[in-house]
């Protein structure tokens, strides 16, 4: 009887993990706009991910039936979706483990809120 309950629990846990992965990977295109480097604002739809950290790239469609295009911070000046505006910015990142101010730094372009 205990083995049967254990198998049921493992099966339920596996199914919950599988469902959460499938739901996370679904697209969520919401109205927004993109500011390409050339200055022309593009209205369309952005695959919104409720980012807990700054996105490395975003997916954009002018129309929901279009194929998606991906943009990195180097490709755009910024974007807006919902009430969130992200702007591309050059930032310095300390890559040392010690946090020493004289340590090694690298430059990256990131999307910042």
Burial class (CB in 10 A: 0-12, 13-18, 19+), 71: buried
- Does residue 22 carry a pLDDT above 50? no
Looking at residue 13, what is its pLDDT? 64
pLDDT digits (tens, 9 = 90+) for 53-109: 889 999 999 999 999 999 999 999 999 999 999 999 888 777 776 666 666 777 777
DSSP E strand boundaries for 6-57? 29-36, 42-47
Which pLDDT does position 100 carry in this prediction?
A: 66
The pTM of the full predicted model, rounded to 2 decimals, is 0.66
Confidence of residue 25 (pLDDT cuts 50, 70, 90): low
- The token pair that represents 59 in the structure block: 């997916």
């Amino acid at each position: 009887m205990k083995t049967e309950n254990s198998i049921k629990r493992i099966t339920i846990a596996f199914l919950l993990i599988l469902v959460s992965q499938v739901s996370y990977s679904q697209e969520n295109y919401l109205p927004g706009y993109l500011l390409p480097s050339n200055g022309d604002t593009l209205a369309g739809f952005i695959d919104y991910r409720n980012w807990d950290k700054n996105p490395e790239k975003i997916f954009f469609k002018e129309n929901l039936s279009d194929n998606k295009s991906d943009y990195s911070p180097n490709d755009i000046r910024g974007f807006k979706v919902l009430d969130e505006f992200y702007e591309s910015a050059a930032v310095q990142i300390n890559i040392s483990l010690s946090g020493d101010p004289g340590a090694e730094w690298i430059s990256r372009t990131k999307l910042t809120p």
